[in-house]
Structure 1
Amino acid sequence: MMQWFKRNGWYAAILVSALILPLYVENRYFMQVLNMSCLFAIGALALNLILGCTGQASLAHGGFFAIGAYGVAVMTTSLQWSFWVALPLAALLAAVVGLLVGALALRTRGAYFAIVTLCLGEIIHLVAGNWLAVTGGHNGIMGIPPPDVIPVPFLGAIGFSTLSAQYYLVLSMLLLTLLTMHRLVKSLKGLAFMSIRSNEVLAESLGINSFRTKMTAFAIADFFVALAGGLYASLIGSITPSVASLKITFDFLLFVLLGGVATLAGPVIGAFTIPVLAEWIQFLQDYQMMIYGFLLIIVTIYFPMGLMGGIARIRQKLEKN
């Protein structure tokens, strides 16, 4: 038992703190920031799967986020479907699109793959802004309903109209994503992902189908970032083509790179740190991108594995002393 607490004590403490946090946060605006951070953490974990585990720099991540957002928006407004039906269907749609696009894009490597996915993300952005009949064009889609009430035995109906209820919803989705990513990375398939990242030619010589493996990682990443996009649309209540902008993609990249590539905790830390930092430096809004760029340079030079890598280095030095 003591060994378990030594290994998992910090994680248990963080989980308990996350569960009781709404009891102590009275500021509605800060609660909204926490909700968005949970959503961004899901998307950052998805990007980390394709970038950190297989070494493929996808620049269409914001586009797949938008597919999830628009999928849920259209299904719940125009088609009047339940949120709980629309959310997985929108995520599956993004995964299917990822498979179709990946069949072409993943035949390229390195910078060429990044360029192809960059073009895809821009195409999705243009479609969102010009397909008036479905997306509403640049006006977007308004009046997206919140998640439907869930009847639970012995507890009654659970609604999601309050920020606290929405927080527990996105937190549960984040925990589900973390658990899925952990099981995946620790599996044989996860080892195949990382072998491709390390040396794709060597991995193929050992019998690993690199194309199929990268396709799997790409589709799973697209599924989870679309899941985050669908939650975003339902909780915000309206969306515009800005959800497919290149800025969304670079925000996810920033979360992963600053938090720590190829780690599970890194993208989550980045997704919570950067939005909170952005709120603190709102008075420096004109210089935010300059500050982010400076942070990225510092982390890249001194902590190439991100904040998690820096923490690991500090821990190693303390253990030696």
Structure 2
Amino acid sequence: MPTLLSKKYALIAIILVAILIPLLSTNEYYLHILTLSFIWIIAVYGLNLLAGFTGYLSLAHAGFFGIGAYALGLLTVKGGMSFWPAFFLAPVITTVIGFFIGLVALRTKEHFFAIYTLCVGYIIYLVIDKWEGLTGGVRGLIGIPGPTNIGPIELTSANARYYFVLTVLLLVVFLIYRIVNSLVGRSFIAIRNDEQLAQSIGISTLKNKLMSFVLSTFFAGLAGALYASFIRFIGPDISNINITFDLLIFMIVGGIGTLSGPVIGTLLIVVLSQQLQFLQDHRMLIFGPLLTSIIIFSPRGLAGMYLTWYYKRKAKKKAQIQTDNASIGGDS
């Protein structure tokens, strides 16, 4: 019970700090960076659900991120649709496309799945880059509208956009938590641990893998729609494979297969990137050894390192209590 209460209080404290940041700082640049970080965290959660909890690494994640962004941009800029219907439709469109891609992709396994999704991601990038009549090609889309006001709630200022993205992020974290701790989430983890064993005990592996893949694309599309509405300009580069590798780094550093990993990894790398801007392209001289060290010494990332230490400490304490009880019983 004390552990549960401490976790609850820690979570409340983190949320309160996030709420108070715009009130304590007037620097809009840092607010911009934090808002953008929240969007990346949502995308990383989608990738983590598939790779971390189901054990299937999709290298097409940036492609689905780009589909979500372009869906919002095309519906509003070229389709003349108002923001909110387009915003809700963008992740749905991404999910539908992801469903049909997943039906084929999930016939493969392990590195074949990764290679297949890498090819799919590159095809999505080529479509966005070359289909100038629809996407604008290398010119991209400009003039994408931001969130419009909801009655008396104003969403045009930097603070309002920050709180809007933060609210969406908290909803995503809540949804991921419920999914992971549900029977569906347990099925995902069973597939990750041993797919053949999961199938032998009656779990429909293809159905659950497809569900995980589709949910992953939904969160990628949602993050893409938020990105387009926040930046107001998008180009083909947002669907480039480099974006997928950035998201992978966020996930690996924070902790693959953990609930807190996407937040820790994304915020840490983004903050470090901002602090090391003076190094320009030489920043990888720091990120490279950092990432290599984490992969070698803590394959589950920083959150995984903490969880390993915590459970070892708990097991040690439990063993000590048992030893003390046994010694007391022997003395009596």
Under TM normalisation by the shorter chain, which class is it?
over 0.9
The answer as to whether partners of 2:95 and 2:214 remain within 8 angstroms in 1 is: yes
Aligned residue for 2:40? Answer: 40
Aligned residue for 1:93? Answer: 93
What is the RMSD computed on CA atoms of the aligned residues?
Answer: 1.5
Deviation, structure 1 residue 7: 3.5
Q: 1:240 aligns with which of 214, 232, 235?
A: 235
Aligned residue for 2:266? Answer: 271
Query: In the TM superposition, what whole-angstrom CA distance separates every residue of 1:5-34 from its partner, at most 9, and x where no partner exists?
Result: 334111111011111111012111111100
Deviation, structure 1 residue 291: 2.4
Deviation, structure 1 residue 311: 2.0
Aligned residue for 2:275? Answer: 280
Once the two structures are superposed, the pairs formed by residues 204-243 of structure 1 within 5 Å of their partners are 204-243=199-238
Aligned residue for 1:50? Answer: 50
Q: Give the match's secondary structure for 1:127.
A: helix
Distance in 1 separating the partners of 2:199 and 2:105 = 19
Query: In the TM superposition, what whole-angstrom CA distance separates every residue of 1:95-121 from its partner, at most 9, and x where no partner exists?
Result: 111110111110000111001100111
Distance in 1 separating the partners of 2:291 and 2:279 = 17
Aligned residue for 1:187? Answer: 182
- Residue 191 of structure 1 aligns to which amino acid in structure 2? R
Larger gyration radius, structure 1 or structure 2:
2
Structure 1 gap ranges (5+)? 152-156
- Residue 26 of structure 2 aligns to which amino acid in structure 1? E
The percentage of aligned residue pairs carrying the same residue is 43
Q: Give the match's secondary structure for 1:150.
A: coil
Distance in 2 separating the partners of 1:293 and 1:225 = 26
Query: In the TM superposition, what whole-angstrom CA distance separates every residue of 1:245-291 from its partner, at most 9, and x where no partner exists?
Result: 11110111111110001111001111111111100001112122332
Distance in 2 separating the partners of 1:290 and 1:118 = 26
- Residue 22 of structure 2 aligns to which amino acid in structure 1? P
Deviation, structure 1 residue 317: 6.4
Aligned residue for 1:142? Answer: 142
Q: Give the match's secondary structure for 1:158.
A: coil
Distance in 1 separating the partners of 2:183 and 2:309 = 30
The answer to whether 1:112 aligns with 2:107 is: no
The answer as to whether partners of 2:140 and 2:234 remain within 8 angstroms in 1 is: yes
Deviation, structure 1 residue 312: 2.6
Distance in 2 separating the partners of 1:125 and 1:275 = 24
- Residue 239 of structure 2 aligns to which amino acid in structure 1? A
Aligned residue for 1:197? Answer: 192
Deviation, structure 1 residue 180: 0.4
Distance in 2 separating the partners of 1:6 and 1:300 = 29
The answer to whether 1:84 aligns with 2:84 is: yes
Distance in 2 separating the partners of 1:203 and 1:3 = 31
- Residue 244 of structure 1 aligns to which amino acid in structure 2? S
Q: In structure 2, do the counterparts of structure 1 residues 316 and 202 end up closer, same or farther at CA, with 3 Å as the change threshold?
A: closer
Q: After alignment, is 189-198 or 303-312 more displaced?
A: 303-312
**TM-score using structure 1 length:** 0.95
Q: Size of the alignment, in residue pairs? A: 316
Distance in 2 separating the partners of 1:3 and 1:112 = 42
Distance in 2 separating the partners of 1:211 and 1:288 = 41
- Residue 33 of structure 1 aligns to which amino acid in structure 2? I
Q: 1:249 aligns with which of 223, 244, 252?
A: 244
Structure 2 gap ranges (5+)? 318-332
Deviation, structure 1 residue 4: 5.5
- Residue 47 of structure 1 aligns to which amino acid in structure 2? L
**TM-score using structure 2 length:** 0.92
The answer as to whether partners of 2:105 and 2:116 remain within 8 angstroms in 1 is: yes
Q: In structure 2, do the counterparts of structure 1 residues 129 and 207 end up closer, same or farther at CA, with 3 Å as the change threshold?
A: same
The answer as to whether partners of 2:148 and 2:156 remain within 8 angstroms in 1 is: no
Deviation, structure 1 residue 161: 1.7
